Structure 1
Amino acid sequence: MGYLSWQYDVDFSPWQKDEASVLPLTQAIFRHQCTRENQTLTREAVKGDKAFETFSAGWFGCLSDRSDALMHSLSLAVTGYSDLSCRMKAESEGRPDDACKKALDERILMHRALKEFPAE
């Protein structure tokens, strides 16, 4: 799979469980992107040096920001899928979807609470 100016070889077939996992792929992409964003600091970084500390702080901050954004996006997707599933099940069973509405409201409140306290 090509991604901008670099390439990541991955087999998405289900029998290749290690390579088919989305998490290692996503983390690899984030690490590469964050390294590229802090590339100027990479050239100056020497272990034990102030530039290395600055690079490390920037790199981990970048990883944190990207992971946090992905977590919020996935959280919203789960909320939407859960609500649709609940409503469809309620409809097929011929019962009201009041419980679904309550569950949706709780998940939205939880999502808002997570958004108010971002990782530092």
Structure 2
Amino acid sequence: MIVVDTNVVVHFITDGRATEDAAALFDEDGEWAAPRILMSEFRNVLVGMIRRGAITSDRAKVMSERAAAILADRITPVESAQVLDVAIECDLTAYDAEFVALARTLDVPLVTLDGGILDGAPDVAVRLRAFLDAS
């Protein structure tokens, strides 16, 4: 099991610069966990894509359902106090701190493309490409 952030899921579900790497990650370890906020962040990305004309609303709904299916029952709540502590400790937004807090709680890597998370939480955060190279 690994924790993935929204960027990884976006690249896995949509066509992006890291789509192939995200697919390889899923093949390597498809047991992805994430905090509840991931689905809201993911839907926000989809709304932006709809507004830019990159996808239709119907396509976005299919993508949202696919993301939910991939994460299945591994959408996990995190303690508010822990999120606040992590945000302050790692100089992250509370949104990003949720992913770090969950990875620490589960004692698993957090695979990400986010430079701020990589810099702020090197104890758990691993760049997507580096995770694949180490596997």
TM-score category of the 2 structures, normalised to the smaller one:
under 0.3
Instruction: Name the one with the larger strand percent.
Output: 2
TM-score calculated relative to the size of structure 1: 0.28
Higher relative contact order (Cα pairs below 8 Å, separated by 6+ residues): 2
TM-score calculated relative to the size of structure 2: 0.26
